[in-house]
Structure 1
Amino acid sequence: MVLTDLREGSTGPITVMVCRKWDVTNVNGRYMSTDYVVSDVKGGMIHCTARNNIAHYFFDKLKEGGVYLLKGFTVQRTDQYRILKDSPFVIWLNGSTTVKRVDDTSGSFTRYPFLLTAFEDLEPTEGKYFVGGESKQLTYEQVAANKLKTAQYAL
């Protein structure tokens, strides 16, 4: 089974690699969940989450870069909190979810597709820098009220 085969209510099993892992807190700093981006052998990606009351079961079991066989999870549709814009589903790890580490000796998984680097440590690839960013359109009133200044980056 690969990620494109998952449907609402699917429970696995599926073999995935953990690409990214982070803790989610609310605006008051309260811990809410541990979330993951996982990929399959075909390069598909999906958001995966473990709520705060069960996340400790997976803390030492799921590590970035590790390949695992997951069973007993729940797949649900999500329109509210979507990490990957083209993925309508999220995998919810729960108390019945089992995790087994799998050896990827064939090298079939893309290692670290989201390898993040500090800006000052960027090195050119084929003589070019590739920098992603986000832009936001602001009104003059917003700029004046927040005393914002223009930032210029020369690469």
Structure 2
Amino acid sequence: MANSYTVLADLRAGRCFNTAEVRLLRFWEAKNINKRGQLMSVEMLLVDEHSTLIQGSVPAAIQLTFRGRLSEGSVYTLSGFEVTRSNPKFRLSDGPVSIRFNEGTAFEKLATTTRIIPTEHFRFRPYEQILELANTGKQLPDVMGELRAIRSTITDRLPGAQRVMLTLRLEGDVNVCVSMFDSLALAFHSKFDGYGREPRIVLVTSINPKIVSGKLYLNGTSATRVFFDCETTVGAEAFNRQIARRWDRPGRVFN
């Protein structure tokens, strides 16, 4: 007998044997920085046809069972998983629960689906709310803005930790600084070099707001992704609005 269909908003704590149909938006490795980067889990963001966003976690001990199946943007059926209460710290979704894979979890990619599932989902917050979240460790929101400047230690070939700092102008003409370090900074430069030109609009996911010496910094995390211009629907809309208004192209600064 086939499992009953369920939607993410109906999940309750405990083992779930019903089947959900979800899109895998993004996945990344969560590592323990206190144990030399030891892998703790593979984390992911899933969304269903009702635009319900939920975080999923594959423990390190079984991650090889699922790793080869993970394809960002693909749709899957999911059943036989644990539903747990969401961690109150560094949250990536607003829901009260999250999903934890186990050895009995079925996670199968679908070639086609009749369900209309969003291809993207972002958690933007107004500047005032980002300020309120600073130094609390509660939420990792997303931001999008016009690129005003880039500062980088990588282009100067300086020894030590690598760092990239982006200045973005958000809605309301507020400028914020987004900081990315080490592997994330290197990944940004690789993407930037391959893009062929300086982007106008930059979208950065899962940032950790911090106030240092009275200034707000949005620090990248292991879950951070960077999208340029029209790589997303919301980015394309912002890009087209900018073109329509004939905004000046921001300069590029390397220090």
Which TM bucket (shorter chain)? 0.7 to 0.9
- Identify if the C-alpha distance between structure 1 residues 70 and 105 changes in structure 2 by more than 3 Å, giving closer, same or farther: closer
RMSD between aligned residues: 2.8
Q: More displaced, 46-55 or 95-104?
A: 95-104
2:96 alignment partner, one of 88, 92, 112: 88
Conserved? CA contact 1:82–1:88, under 8 Å = no
How far did 1:134 drift?
A: 6.2
Unaligned runs of 5+ in 2: 1-5, 123-143, 145-187, 215-249
Aligned equivalents of 1:99, 1:136: Cα separation in 2:
36
- Residue by residue over 1:11-62, the C-alpha shift from the partner in whole angstroms, topping out at 9 and shown as x without a partner, is 1311111000101110121111111000001111000000000011101122
Asked if 1:46 is matched to 2:82, the reply is no
More strand by share: 2
Unaligned runs of 5+ in 1: 124-128, 141-153
Aligned equivalents of 2:70, 2:209: Cα separation in 1:
34
Aligned equivalents of 2:84, 2:93: Cα separation in 1:
15
| One-letter amino acid of the counterpart of residue 86, structure 1 | D
1:34 alignment partner, one of 42, 64, 67: 42
Asked if 1:17 is matched to 2:18, the reply is no
Higher relative contact order (CA 8 A, sep 6+): 1
Conserved? CA contact 1:35–1:47, under 8 Å = yes
- The two structures have a TM-score, normalised by structure 2, of 0.46
Aligned equivalents of 2:113, 2:51: Cα separation in 1:
17
Asked if 1:137 is matched to 2:137, the reply is no
- Identify if the C-alpha distance between structure 1 residues 91 and 121 changes in structure 2 by more than 3 Å, giving closer, same or farther: farther
Identity within the alignment, %: 27
- The two structures have a TM-score, normalised by structure 1, of 0.73
- Residue by residue over 1:107-152, the C-alpha shift from the partner in whole angstroms, topping out at 9 and shown as x without a partner, is 61222335x98676534xxxxx465676533347xxxxxxxxxxxx
What is the aligned residue count? 136
